[in-house]
Amino acid sequence: MKEGVVAVKVNWHLLLPFGVLGLSELAEGCSEAGLPLIADMKLNDIGSTNVEAAQTLFSNGFDAVIANPFVGFGEGIEDLRSKCREMGKGLVLLVYMSHKGAQEGYGLKVGDDPFYVRFAKETKRWGADGAVVSSKSPSIIREVRSILSKDQKILSPGVGFQGGDGKKALEAGSDYLIVGRSIVDAKDPLKAAEAFNRDLRQPGERRRTNREK
């Protein structure tokens, strides 16, 4: 299975029932396979609270966290970024989500820019490692890609189960596709992952296909 993915993303579906200690076997397996383990907690609190959460996650095998830029920088993302740098871990900011209501929040305009544009600019300014942008919104991916630095990655959720088109997302500028339920809920997860990769590996495709589950 490790040949078909480049990282593993865990959210509340596993973190709540099992806790970080209950995921130790998963963390060890990812480490042995060389797969980064990402905590999709969408950290959204004051800096000290986010730092405590990140410290616990990182000390138990996680390699990166996803946080919500809504909390702002001072005494918010700033503290979390410092902790990530101190421990050599990754920080990804939530820029645009995949559900129907995303436009009501992340698409809401403040001045001339919608929140997702402001968040993309902050992802660059604050020096985060990447941004989460829905695979269902190729035009927004392009817009965010034009704002971020070349070394900042775009992770795109919503592929498969939620209707996102992986090819269009990659063509628009995504670096990694997040494919969760379409693989986990499949009768044969391995075959499902292989099918996704096979469909994306077309002759002459300009971008290298990357996968994140």
Residue 25 — φ and ψ, nearest 5°?
-65, -40
Residue 69 amino acid letter: P
At a CB cut-off of 8 Å and minimum separation 6, what does 167 contact?
Answer: 199, 200, 202
Of the candidates 42, 121, 124, 168, the residue annotated as catalytic is 42
Active-site residue flag, 42: yes
> Per the structure block, which two tokens stand in for 71?
């909390």
The residues assigned a catalytic role are: 42
